[in-house]
Chains A and B, each alone.
Chain A
């Protein structure tokens, strides 16, 4: 069964992932919470820590390799990011219930969008997989990004559809064993079992920095892949391999969790802010320029970047130009915007 016209809910919140975190410790003191946090630090835990109070207040800590990243307070309609300075005051309660959800870095990025991106409206539909294919295709070309929650008796999945014909759809699948992150495309619903699904789409605002960071990451990969392919066409595969190796070593030495090959970038870096992501991409492009220029010359490298930018679709071109190539010292890429 397909419900053609969605039910609109205004002023709603992104899905609360913390609801899926099973409570492992009940009514513990703040001192014991500190002990639990310390244990997570030592085991280099990556994921979400849920803190629930008898008052109904819910908090969520994000951890990345044992380091606490952010503390969120979940309200009915909004999520607050609690400043680091007042973390200890916020945690100072006597009866706290705690749970943990182990996540991959990719799932952490997904979670960040869920927690921080605003929701403009919520659409709720009941769809069969066939109807979901058409609807998802429609959503994937719309300019507004969103999170789609697909739920049935046995399925509980979230999809991050960035819009603007972004070919990649990120998927978070909640099951008893935990959370699994995977990459898919607009036809993700083809793999779903034949049943009726409750589909909730949380439409967000594309101007929010979390979406910019997400869009930039997805745009940067094909851009770098084409850049390296072009370099390879001119300089050969051996030099391209060495260039990728040098870029990967440089990234590793600077503490960035990325690997660069001639297929592009495997980006496992969790950026806390758009600014830090932009900073990394700019540095990587500068590094590419300085490493590749001795072979082909600075002029050629700028020309290659310009040609590759022109080949991208206008949305991704604009994103890369605005955030990377409009910065001083990146290169004279003119006439592509």
Chain B
């Protein structure tokens, strides 16, 4: 059905509708999380389901961007890696949610395999984006990537040492996994800042703004986990863990809105008024 809207109007309406839908989504999630209107099992199922839906929607929109580019185009490669990464996150959320509903507390395991693998794809996506943007020479590329990996390894090792020797001593596997997330989030956040700065003011900056928001939220979660703040808050039944969990869903939605913004621009942007 043709609604008679111009491309610009359609673009504005889609983004407006998406923002409203995101607000409604987060409001319902907050109600379920804080007021627990259903039985404990159903509240848990719904809360996890919302997270899976948010992650899947984000991955779907990233896939839609991938599909908009022609096969030989370089941005298609970026969005393929990015979409695969997001689908791995969605798989991780689904796995974690299933385990949470069926087993209760979820320790580091299969879900983390998906989460960790996703970062490898994000890294690849960002590397391709970096190559298009900065066009470094082979020498520059090798030296910069080596330097970044070295820096990340140093931070990772320091965190790992801190976790295995700290007061709240963790198993080597738990420490290894939990040390990975803040380092990977920091890496994503730094790259996202660099990209936002480059694309500042343009529609192409919005996915990276979303990624920045997500990285910061996840970084915050990693800090809460490592410092024991999250467990303390859950035990105390105060608002800190609730605020974080809501912010985590919100971060997925922000990332989704950012990616949607680019998709809308690719589909409707720069069209002649009709």
In the complex, chain B residues whose CB is within 8 Å of the CB of A233: 74, 132
Q: Mark B237-274, 1 if CB is under 8 A from A, else 0.
A: 00000000000000000000000000001100111100
Q: Is the CB of A236 within 8 A of B265?
A: no
Closest to A291 in B: B270
Number of A-B contacts (CB under 8 A): 73
Q: How far is the CB of B135 from chain A (nearest CB, A)?
A: 8
On whether A299 and B201 interact (CB within 8 A), knowing A236-B266, A239-B269, A242-B271, the answer reads yes
Q: Which of B74, B270, B271 has the most CB of A within 10 A?
A: B270
Q: Is the CB of A235 within 8 A of B271?
A: no
On whether A238 and B265 interact (CB within 8 A), knowing A294-B202, A296-B202, the answer reads no
The residues in A between 107 and 165 inclusive whose CB is less than 8 angstroms from any CB of B are none
Q: Is there a chain B Cβ closer than 8 Å to A73's Cβ?
A: no
Q: How far is the CB of B23 from chain A (nearest CB, A)?
A: 25
Q: Is the CB of B202 within 8 A of A297?
A: yes
The residues in A between 274 and 327 inclusive whose CB is less than 8 angstroms from any CB of B are 291, 293-300, 303
Q: Is the CB of B266 within 8 A of A238?
A: yes
Q: Which of A236, A243, A298 contacts B69 (CB 8 A)?
A: A236
Q: Mark B181-215, 1 if CB is under 8 A from A, else 0.
A: 00000000000000001111111110000000000
In the complex, chain A residues whose CB is within 8 Å of the CB of B272: 242, 245-246, 249
In the complex the two chains form, what is the Cα distance from A234 to B65 in whole Å? 13
Q: Is there a chain A Cβ closer than 8 Å to B13's Cβ?
A: no
In the complex the two chains form, what is the Cα distance from A294 to B205 in whole Å? 10
Q: Is there a chain A Cβ closer than 8 Å to B35's Cβ?
A: no
Q: Is the CB of A295 within 8 A of B270?
A: yes
In the complex the two chains form, what is the Cα distance from A291 to B265 in whole Å? 12
Q: Which of B68, B132, B201, B266 contacts A297 (CB 8 A)?
A: B201
Q: Is there a chain A Cβ closer than 8 Å to B140's Cβ?
A: no
Closest to B70 in A: A237
29 residue pairs A–B, Cβ–Cβ below 8 Å: A233-B132, A234-B75, A234-B133, A236-B68, A236-B69, A236-B73, A236-B266, A238-B69, A238-B70, A239-B266, A239-B269, A245-B272, A246-B270, A249-B272, A291-B270, A293-B201, A294-B202, A294-B265, A295-B203, A295-B270, A296-B199, A296-B204, A297-B205, A298-B201, A299-B197, A299-B199, A299-B201, A300-B202, A303-B198
Give residues in A with beta carbon < 8 Å to B: 233-239, 242-243, 245-246, 249, 291, 293-300, 303
10 further A-B contacts with Cβ under 8 Å, apart from A235-B204, A294-B269, are A235-B266, A236-B69, A236-B76, A236-B266, A238-B68, A238-B69, A239-B265, A246-B272, A300-B199, A303-B198
